[in-house]
């Protein structure tokens, strides 16, 4: 809207488009709730109070709050397209997310990031981008792309790009890796998000002094308080795997709440459907005793201020009419969602289905050299081997040194002792590189499971009781252009194709969730006692979390940050 | 400091320059006070905690808070140069001010603004500039300059310029004057301060929707609450003439304090010396019951956030080491002031005297056509005249219609009835234009007083009991290149030269205050019962405050916003 028109409409010289009458506005500026009407013209709120309007919607005393903002999310973790993600979270009241496409960037580089940006347009959700800062995450694995400061600098000038994504490489900052510093410098004047679990003292001061403004990895109040005191914004995260809300909520006081916000980071389809999105975090926080207006400020004005989204995060003249309507603040049940003045969702469902498809195109990400069953063979080079020991409910693993079962000079899976074979198949360059290892704790009694979701490089990870099943699982992944699969007894038991970069489905969140449930049913039948063996799988190739991991380059001792042989001589 | 060096120093790899040991840090982020040490290198805080340091200063448990910020000030009102202003306020803990050089801009235009910017450099005070938005303020007077959107656009790109100054011309906004809208558009992406006393309802919504972000003219909580709810930051002002702190403090709650800050707007030398600066506002607010940490946030982090001063407003790694040290928070007595890591003031005095003079040059602003005693003659054109009626302690005046005393066909002052003669002499273009009128309420029994401080065009304003004294007073103003004067019985009784644009002295705040006191002693002896007749005088030519005013163009009926004749036919 032109300035002239805004002023004219706000003065009431002409009718506004829509008046939300008899509303209780949750005012994030004054911190109170007041009874008024909300006047909207085109995409903007133009006034609070009585106005002549083309259309009047009587809210009968319901609450109107700003649309919710997720301050940090990897949409890839929900395994659906951006459009479908929007359709899933918007009915929960989320109208803006700050997306860090770290996963797809590690697969497809700038093409992946641009694809996420392009496919964010035309959705009923405002999607801002933080440019992934750590592609690749390490040199101990083969990734699909390498992004330097020169690569990301042009992106940082895009209007939808609000900064540099979580700087996981904190050693690179502290030890002043010139490539890392160049990225920080390229982001000057924009936000730089942090990721520094457990960092403290002078090292934390240095990380903050380098310009890093937030952290979403805190697990305790004392950790969060130290970071807050040094000037970091604290994003309280409640995802699927990492859940910190209950532990961190005591941090929040009336004098520091302005520096706190909410984030989901990684949330699976089932949790989005069953619990919700940012609404779930607010609901939980309120049930734990947080003042509702403060909780709403943390999900609206605070991230809007942090990311410089000056037209969002409040119900006020000149701001975008991204609004939610609620019956009461305790249940925090979102009844209506307006985006840019238009009703887009009601009672948990989209009012219009939104775009079914989008024009952004993406090349296939699955580039795997032909596989043969011999590729999975492990020749016994010694008697004892380093076995990855899964710790239930943890991302960390143990290193177990034992004698694997050997037949005819090759190592075989031993389901009696729960030692399974594992492979990580490079899938970006078709190099034919395969890392082989052994794992305990998955519990499969037969068959194999495989996934192209394997942080952070997302090579194909396979675990199985027999080489033939492992081959079949890997080939099914390639055939699907990525995804998750469980095979056994000569057939595919369940699968979820993820053809978008091997990370995301082309189907709906509900369908993805159903496929996930079928996969988990299959793995349970195969004998796994883990709640979600695929989530466990997805972290077994991540060489930044201790102790022993497997990449396409081989076994990694994370504490030493180097490759180690499978066999102990 | 280079990024590399900041990280290195913050990590403690090398000694820091200064460690403030055993400090209680008022942490504006976490909203609490915690015991630690503050590490400083070069101009910045690099860490909180223990560090090896070249120099250690043991604070023995004293409080360390961020340097204070005045969010809106016209330095000209203190009648001293910027350098002297800095020397006056820095010992009170102010390390940053947001200056709106509205007065000098109306006298000397861009030259005046550039002079203020230039003379702000090299001082122990960070001075940011808001570009005056209303030059001239009205068309009913002759001003020294006209600034269009094209004139101010280049200034808005200067790194020390943080936005567009108070948009007093709210009718221009509401009625969409294209020149006004062009200025608003030129300031896009920067802050635009407001000035909208009493504006409410849809007009206020329109003013806010136009992008105006703050107001410092609120006088009641309900006015401030309405503005706050619509999204304006509230600057709580406590100046010399306008004092709103007591009235507005009940507005502030823990949930909205982040949107409130402190401003002095206009503060005279005497108040700066006797009461102080922002420290006085904090001290008063605390004595009235405001939480000290909240009060400090309002004077530090809040304005830093509002104006985008990301390296100021907090004691944290990477921020400038602009700090104050206090013994306790109740008295709020500032013991030490550090700016950029350097001790600049201690126990109320500058540690180093600072620059005695600065290189910025400025042309004389006094351009007056030769004056003769006949210029002050008022020929009686009718029996009844419109007389300006002063209302004590108010900026508003009344219109009094009475018969003035007439001798030989000319109007003469009548001290018995307290009707004095008044003249406003154009002093920018030497046009010879003089507006003549009558005033009641000043109470002078003899002599004349004159001033070149006369908002907003700062023409020479003279009031007297005899034409000869009025002439002498005006000529003394011209001779001094501006200032204040009291003359009578053939001599100058007291004077204060203000050669910098006719607004500011070249002498110290203390000397200016002494001269002011001599002037007030003189006016008291001349019979005036007003506390400060010069302050009253300075608003008698301001044609935007009701009811009857006099400019060089003649009498103005402010309600009708037009010139009216002196005589009622």
Structure tokens at A379: 């020749």
CB B170 within 8 A of CB B207: yes
Q: Encode pLDDT of B20-66 as tens digits.
A: 999 999 999 999 999 999 999 999 999 999 999 999 999 999 999 99
Residue in B173, B191, B230 to test binding to A, most A beta-carbons within 10 Å? B230
Per-residue pLDDT at B358: 58
Nearest-10 crossing angle of helices A82-89, A509-525: 100
Q: How far is A546 from chain B (nearest CA, A)?
A: 25
Q: Where would I find the beta strands (DSSP E) of B347-395?
A: 349-350, 378-379, 384-390
A91 DSSP 8-state letter: G
The reply to whether residue A46 touches residue B256, judged by beta carbons under 8 angstroms, is no
Q: Count other Cβ atoms within 10 Å, centred on residue B563.
A: 14
Q: Is residue B146's pLDDT more than 70? A: yes
pTM of whole model > 0.90? yes
Per-residue pLDDT at B392: 86
Residue among A187, A166, A81 at smallest CA distance from A127: A81
Residue among A54, A95, A67, A27 at smallest CA distance from A325: A67
Per-residue pLDDT at A483: 98
**CA-nearest residue of chain B to A318?**
B209
Q: Is residue B109's pLDDT more than 80? A: yes
pLDDT > 90: percent of chain B: 94
A206 DSSP 8-state letter: H
The reply to whether residue A294 touches residue B255, judged by beta carbons under 8 angstroms, is yes
Residue B208 with chain A: CB contacts under 8 Å: 10, 316-318
CB A68 within 8 A of CB A295: no
Residue B507: half-sphere exposure toward Cβ, Cα within 13 Å:
12
Contacts of A528 (CB under 8 A, 6+ apart): A442, A443, A444
User: Given CB atoms, is A35 within the 8 Å cutoff of chain B?
Assistant: no
Q: How far is B33 from chain A (nearest CA, A)?
A: 10
The reply to whether residue A206 touches residue B6, judged by beta carbons under 8 angstroms, is yes
Per-residue pLDDT at B428: 97
The β-bridge partners of A339 are: A342
Mean pLDDT, consecutive 10-residue stretches, chain A (569 aa), reads 95 98 98 98 97 98 98 98 96 98 97 94 94 94 96 96 96 96 96 96 98 96 98 96 95 97 96 97 98 98 98 98 97 97 96 66 91 97 97 90 97 98 97 98 98 97 98 98 97 97 97 98 97 95 93 95 95
**CA-nearest residue of chain B to A7?**
B206
**CA-nearest residue of chain A to B25?**
A229
Residue B209 with chain A: CB contacts under 8 Å: 6-7, 10, 44, 46-47, 317-318
Contacts of B339 (CB under 8 A, 6+ apart): B67, B90, B95, B124, B125, B126, B321, B322
Contacts of B340-345 spanning 24+ positions with Cβ under 8 A? B340/B42, B340/B43, B340/B44, B341/B17, B341/B18, B341/B40, B341/B41, B341/B42, B341/B43, B341/B44, B344/B90, B344/B124, B345/B90, B345/B91, B345/B124
User: Given CB atoms, is B7 within the 8 Å cutoff of chain A?
Assistant: yes
Per-residue pLDDT at A122: 87
The reply to whether residue B7 touches residue A176, judged by beta carbons under 8 angstroms, is yes
Compute the residue count for chain B: 569
Per-residue pLDDT at A541: 96
Residue in A7, A164, A212, A312 to test binding to B, most B beta-carbons within 10 Å? A7
Structure tokens at B480: 């001094």
Look at residue B310 and give its three-state secondary structure: coil
User: Given CB atoms, is A256 within the 8 Å cutoff of chain B?
Assistant: yes
Q: Encode pLDDT of B276-289 as tens digits.
A: 999 999 999 999 99
Look at residue B156 and give its three-state secondary structure: helix
- The whole-number average pLDDT for the span B499-518 is 97
Bridge-based pairing state of the strands B126-131 and B161-167? parallel
**CA-nearest residue of chain A to B315?**
A230
Residue A316 with chain B: CB contacts under 8 Å: 208, 229-231
pLDDT > 70: percent of chain B: 99
Residue B10 with chain A: CB contacts under 8 Å: 202, 205-206, 208-210
**CA-nearest residue of chain A to B189?**
A310
- Angle among Cα A275, A281, A284 to the nearest 5 degrees reads 85
Rounded alpha-carbon distances, angstroms, from residue A84 to A71, A119, A272? 19, 10, 12
User: Given CB atoms, is A331 within the 8 Å cutoff of chain B?
Assistant: no
Q: How far is A406 from chain B (nearest CA, A)?
A: 50
CB A475 within 8 A of CB A450: no
C-alpha to C-alpha distance for B191 and A545, rounded to whole angstroms = 45
User: Given CB atoms, is A3 within the 8 Å cutoff of chain B?
Assistant: yes
Interface of A with B in 145-164 (CB under 8 A): none
Per-residue pLDDT at B356: 59
Task: Number of A to B CB contacts under 8 A, please give it.
Answer: 182
Q: How far is B122 from chain A (nearest CA, A)?
A: 25
Q: How far is B480 from chain A (nearest CA, A)?
A: 46
Query: Please, what is the end-to-end C-alpha distance for chain B in angstroms?
Result: 73
Q: How far is A307 from chain B (nearest CA, A)?
A: 12
C-alpha to C-alpha distance for A447 and A496, rounded to whole angstroms = 17
Q: Where would I find the beta strands (DSSP E) of B312-452?
A: 323-326, 334-339, 342-346, 349-350, 378-379, 384-390, 397-402, 406-407, 410-411, 419-425, 434-440, 448-451
Per-residue pLDDT at A353: 66
**CA-nearest residue of chain B to A258?**
B258
Residue in A35, A36, A49, A206 to test binding to B, most B beta-carbons within 10 Å? A206
Q: Encode pLDDT of B291-324 as tens digits.
A: 999 999 999 999 999 999 999 999 999 999 999 9
Structure tokens at A241: 């795997």
Per-residue pLDDT at A357: 55
Residue among A479, A441, A481, A439 at smallest CA distance from A462: A439
Residue among B206, B134, A319, B204 at smallest CA distance from B215: B204
A257 DSSP 8-state letter: G
C-alpha to C-alpha distance for B47 and B31, rounded to whole angstroms = 18
Rounded alpha-carbon distances, angstroms, from residue B69 to A555, B87, B196, B240, B264? 56, 15, 22, 18, 10
CB B463 within 8 A of CB B420: yes
C-alpha to C-alpha distance for B515 and B532, rounded to whole angstroms = 13
Contacts of B356 (CB under 8 A, 6+ apart): B83
**CA-nearest residue of chain B to A310?**
B189
Per-residue pLDDT at A352: 76
CB A322 within 8 A of CB A339: yes
CA max distance for chain A? 90
User: Given CB atoms, is B231 within the 8 Å cutoff of chain A?
Assistant: yes
Contacts of A293-296 spanning 24+ positions with Cβ under 8 A? A293/A26, A293/A28, A293/A31, A293/A32, A293/A33, A293/B255, A294/A31, A294/A252, A294/A254, A294/A257, A294/B255, A296/A26, A296/A28, A296/A65, A296/A66, A296/A329
The reply to whether residue A7 touches residue B210, judged by beta carbons under 8 angstroms, is yes
Instruction: For chain B, give the mean pLDDT.
Output: 96
């Amino acid at each position: 809207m032109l300035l002239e028109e805004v002023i004219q409409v706000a003065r009431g010289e002409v009718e506004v488009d829509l008046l939300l009458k008899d509303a209780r506005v949750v005012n994030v500026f004054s911190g109170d709730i007041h009874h008024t009407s909300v006047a909207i013209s085109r995409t903007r709120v133009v006034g609070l109070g009585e106005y002549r309007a083309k259309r009047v919607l009587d809210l009968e005393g319901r609450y109107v709050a700003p649309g919710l903002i997720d301050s940090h999310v990897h949409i890839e973790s929900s395994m659906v397209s951006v459009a479908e993600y929007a359709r899933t979270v918007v009915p929960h009241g989320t109208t803006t997310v700050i997306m860090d496409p770290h996963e797809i960037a590690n697969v497809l580089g700038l093409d992946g990031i641009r694809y996420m940006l392009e496919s964010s347009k035309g959705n009923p959700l405002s999607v801002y981008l933080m440019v992934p800062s750590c592609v690749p995450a390490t040199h101990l694995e083969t990734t699909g792309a390498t992004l330097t400061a020169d690569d990301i600098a042009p992106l940082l000038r895009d209007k939808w790009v609000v900064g540099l994504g979580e700087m996981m490489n904190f050693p690179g900052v502290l030890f002043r890796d010139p490539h890392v510093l160049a990225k920080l410098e390229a982001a000057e004047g924009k936000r730089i998000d942090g990721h520094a679990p457990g960092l403290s003292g002078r090292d934390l001061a240095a990380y903050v002094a380098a310009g890093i403004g937030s952290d979403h990895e805190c697990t305790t109040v004392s950790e969060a308080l130290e970071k807050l005191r040094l000037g970091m914004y604290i994003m309280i995260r409640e995802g699927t795997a990492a859940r910190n809300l209950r532990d961190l909520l005591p941090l929040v006081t009336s004098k520091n709440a302005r520096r706190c916000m909410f984030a989901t980071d990684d949330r699976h389809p089932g949790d989005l459907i069953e619990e919700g999105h940012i609404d779930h975090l607010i609901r939980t926080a309120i049930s734990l005793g947080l003042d509702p207006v403060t909780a709403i400020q943390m999900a609206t004005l605070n991230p809007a201020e942090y990311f410089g989204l000056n037209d969002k995060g409040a119900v006020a003249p000149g701001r975008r009419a991204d609004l939610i309507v609620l019956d009461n603040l305790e249940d925090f049940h979102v009844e209506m969602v307006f985006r840019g003045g238009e009703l887009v969702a009601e009672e948990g469902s989209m009012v219009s289905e939104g775009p079914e498809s989008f024009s952004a195109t993406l090349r296939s990400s699955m580039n795997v050299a032909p596989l043969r069953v011999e590729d999975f063979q492990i020749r016994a080079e010694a008697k004892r081997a380093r076995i990855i020991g899964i710790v239930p409910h943890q991302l960390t693993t143990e290193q177990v040194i034992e004698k694997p079962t050997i037949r005819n000079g090759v190592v075989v899976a031993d389901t009696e002792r729960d030692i399974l074979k594992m492979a990580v198949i490079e899938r970006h360059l078709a190099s034919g590189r395969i890392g082989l290892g052994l794992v305990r704790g998955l519990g499969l009694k037969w068959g194999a499971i495989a996934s192209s979701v394997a942080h952070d490089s997302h090579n194909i990870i396979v675990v199985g009781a027999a080489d033939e099943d492992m081959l079949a699982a890997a080939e099914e992944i390639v055939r699907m252009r990525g995804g998750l699969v469980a095979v056994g007894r000569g057939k595919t038991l369940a699968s979820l194709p993820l053809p978008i970069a091997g990370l995301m489905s082309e189907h709906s969140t509900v369908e993805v969730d159903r496929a996930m449930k079928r996969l988990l049913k299959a793995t349970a039948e195969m004998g796994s006692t883990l709640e979600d063996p695929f989530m466990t799988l997805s972290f077994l190739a991540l060489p930044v979390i201790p102790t022993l991991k497997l990449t396409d380059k081989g076994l990694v001792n994370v504490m030493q940050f180097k490759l180690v042989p499978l066999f102990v001589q």
